[in-house]
Structure 1
């Protein structure tokens, strides 16, 4: 179905309640639905927003269009969790119901301040001629989760940017308040991270584009994030149109990270530790990752598992996308590692010990964790969500010998998913070393943590419900454990 602009931007109040209930039922009963990851109750879910800790809980807001699998007029919905795993839904949070956001409440961030949670987002305003004005808005949420919007924008677009000026990250650093914004320069049509500074959250001064060196970062940077991981400044961002000679990627748009030695926000200077940005995820479907520094001293990240300008088989069921699990960030040897948070272990049950079995499970179900330690010096294929003869499956092709690498192949797992961008992803490994895999499957979502999170590969796949076999293609030397996973939603 082709959605017209009029349909996409229809006011929420003009939709009837029964339509929404029908859409919710359709999403809930889908055989592809996730059950221990955040997913849309109906319609489309995209960027994670406002990831934060406030009033004794972790909070997460989500870009949402509840009336279909399309990017219509966006709102924020709200989840909270005591442990970053067990999320409960708190309902709508920011609706596009003011002049500042009459065409959508776009992405943003959150920061605790004076007992309130400040929610900063881009108000997508459209005038009568459909000209876009991106307003940067700071709303407040109190301890009862009541949200109050302001009457005016905190930051107006400067003359030197195009209409693409969005996704504010609000945070405090060295006694001052800062906002990072994704921006496109009006003259050069190049992507940048624009920095604003304030002493009081009222008056904002533009410090200019963050200096990222001589290489252009494509035509637009979305979702810029700065976190400090083991005292290193780490930029996480989505450079659309990035030249692949700068950093190679296969997805339509990449989600990158860049570790720095130092960052001076007042002078808009970034001193990189790496020569170039690197892929945050080595799979097929991660974008718009949002991270924050939590009070417990850790940096946590969560990602949209979906991509702009792409479609997925569940579009036919009127819902789209989901989120990754939350990952704890760490830097080892100048590389960003991502780890499952400890609380994910609380979902495990029905443990099965594994030791060189060729068939791991004939009927593993659609919610499980599989942890494997594969010996060096061998090669083979692990089939997930497979039919009986292994001809239709999600394939993890591994080599732990001299030509060490891991290839994920979703070509035969079910309906094709954005085939223009390939059906395989390959990760180079160190030769002649053991390989550790921690694999999470939840409905149509798979997350593979490789060598303690040195790499993570995230993807959607759409296998028939009857395909639940897990097996190697031949005898393999390994140990492991398999768990079923409880639902959270």
Structure 2
């Protein structure tokens, strides 16, 4: 694995010619995804500024162009009309001011007066490498570039640590105010979100206090990527608590959770209907963001980073890493979110398959008869090894175990995870791309997302008599054009 110097990681990209050789290397990788958004070169992580505007979906992702390393971050722009077919638009936000001299970090978007505005964290470091994060704003112009406001909206608070980032903006009609939630860490190491408000979008922002989640006043060590949205008559709070271990998550200290409940803007208190739930039970899911400006108020649209901070993946050897999940339609059912593949995804089906061969792009429709069962994916021709999906009907528990795959990674964090069900296993929809798998279980009540890197020999699947499976070969839907 390459050892990166600070100078290499934080080098400024001046021309696409500088990364053209890397693009040629990256694009021929056997693990390049075909229907997931991924970096044109180097590394991608958090989705940013996800928004629907004038018939088009705009999505940005954190991008470090130089290789599989977290360094100087840009916002790379992709667009879609249907959330299935994506086109590259190039860099929309570059770290080119004193306020974001070491990276344009994550944030969200809002539509106002027929314009898109994005709010992001400017990662500033001084000559002693001391960080000072600023909350900044930019407006998307007709050429698809984000034009920054000359000065930040506000500087970080000195009574918290330097970890203040990932602004989430919402407009609350009943208050006639905008609110920004900033993921933060207290000086005592406690995770929280800082709340600012203003009656104007671009001026007069003032600090209001901390977001309080009733019953979770001491929870986690940093709340990354806070996201607050309303679906129907329920509010949904999502964030990624760091620096803490949670039940059933192995040695992992980075998570993505959610609450369904009600947000009280007078007291800055979120009142959950029940305990937190995992947004996804898989190995690789983080920094989920709901799209702004979704026309149907009874659903949300969500996308996440398929990866985790501090984890490492086999494609680092090929000098690239990362992708985003499939966009998902989100519904509220009681105190639970229901996640479904975006409507219309079946248009990628080429043909129904037969036999045990597992193409690199495939959708599986799985029906279970209620008994304990086993499904092995990415097996050898003789049915051995592979990724095991085991269902125990007595305990109503699914276990996903990747330890028998040829390419093992992040073993010290977890190789097997459980999905506890409230009911019997009835069905699974499984989407496999070149280096990923996403499970939607019991019509989206539970999901499981993971990176996998099967070898040429690991191209079969096997299952027992308790499962009935239909499989469909899929086609590509993402743009790989070299646009910077």
Q: What TM-score comes out, normalization by structure 2 length?
A: 0.94
Structure 2 counterpart of 1:362, from 348, 352, 356: 356
Deviations 1:427-476 (A, max 9, x none): 12356x4520000000110000110111100001111023211221x4x1
Structure 1 counterpart of 2:378, from 382, 385, 390: 385
CA contact (8 A) 2:214 2:269 kept: no
For 1:417, the equivalent position in structure 2 comes to 409
CA contact (8 A) 2:31 2:434 kept: yes
Per-residue deviation, 1:18: 4.6
What does 1:160-171 align with in structure 2 at a 5 Å threshold? 160-171=159-170
CA change 1:384–1:167 in 2 (3 A) is same
What does 1:245-264 align with in structure 2 at a 5 Å threshold? 248-250=248-250, 251-260=252-261, 262-264=262-264
CA distance in 2, matches of 1:31, 1:243: 34
Deviations 1:11-61 (A, max 9, x none): 212xx6555112112221111121001111110000000000113201100
For 2:481, the equivalent position in structure 1 comes to none
CA contact (8 A) 1:227 1:292 kept: no
For 2:36, the equivalent position in structure 1 comes to 37
What does 1:15-30 align with in structure 2 at a 5 Å threshold? 17-30=16-29
For 1:73, the equivalent position in structure 2 comes to 72
User: Secondary structure of the equivalent of 2:19?
Assistant: helix
For 1:305, the equivalent position in structure 2 comes to 306
Per-residue deviation, 1:480: 3.5
CA change 1:149–1:240 in 2 (3 A) is same
Segments of structure 1 that go 5 or more residues without pairing to the other structure are 353-359
For 2:462, the equivalent position in structure 1 comes to 471
CA contact (8 A) 2:363 2:429 kept: yes
CA distance in 1, matches of 2:212, 2:285: 25
User: Secondary structure of the equivalent of 1:162?
Assistant: coil
Q: Does 1:395 align with 2:397?
A: no
For 1:357, the equivalent position in structure 2 comes to none
CA change 1:79–1:266 in 2 (3 A) is farther
CA contact (8 A) 2:229 2:290 kept: yes
CA distance in 1, matches of 2:447, 2:77: 26
For 1:198, the equivalent position in structure 2 comes to 198
User: Secondary structure of the equivalent of 2:213?
Assistant: coil
CA distance in 2, matches of 1:379, 1:277: 28
Per-residue deviation, 1:62: 0.3
Q: Does 1:225 align with 2:227?
A: yes
CA distance in 2, matches of 1:266, 1:53: 29
Q: How many residues matched?
A: 470
Per-residue deviation, 1:344: 1.2
What does 1:329-344 align with in structure 2 at a 5 Å threshold? 329-344=330-345
For 2:320, the equivalent position in structure 1 comes to 319
Deviations 1:309-360 (A, max 9, x none): 11111111100011110111112132111111112111112024xxxxxxx6
For 1:428, the equivalent position in structure 2 comes to 420
- Aligned-residue CA RMSD in angstroms? 1.6
Q: What TM-score comes out, normalization by structure 1 length?
A: 0.93
Q: Does 1:4 align with 2:30?
A: no
For 1:482, the equivalent position in structure 2 comes to 471
Per-residue deviation, 1:267: 2.4
CA distance in 1, matches of 2:395, 2:467: 19
CA distance in 2, matches of 1:265, 1:22: 51
CA contact (8 A) 1:31 1:465 kept: no
For 1:356, the equivalent position in structure 2 comes to none
CA contact (8 A) 1:302 1:323 kept: yes
CA contact (8 A) 1:327 1:339 kept: yes
CA contact (8 A) 2:50 2:60 kept: yes
CA distance in 2, matches of 1:53, 1:430: 34
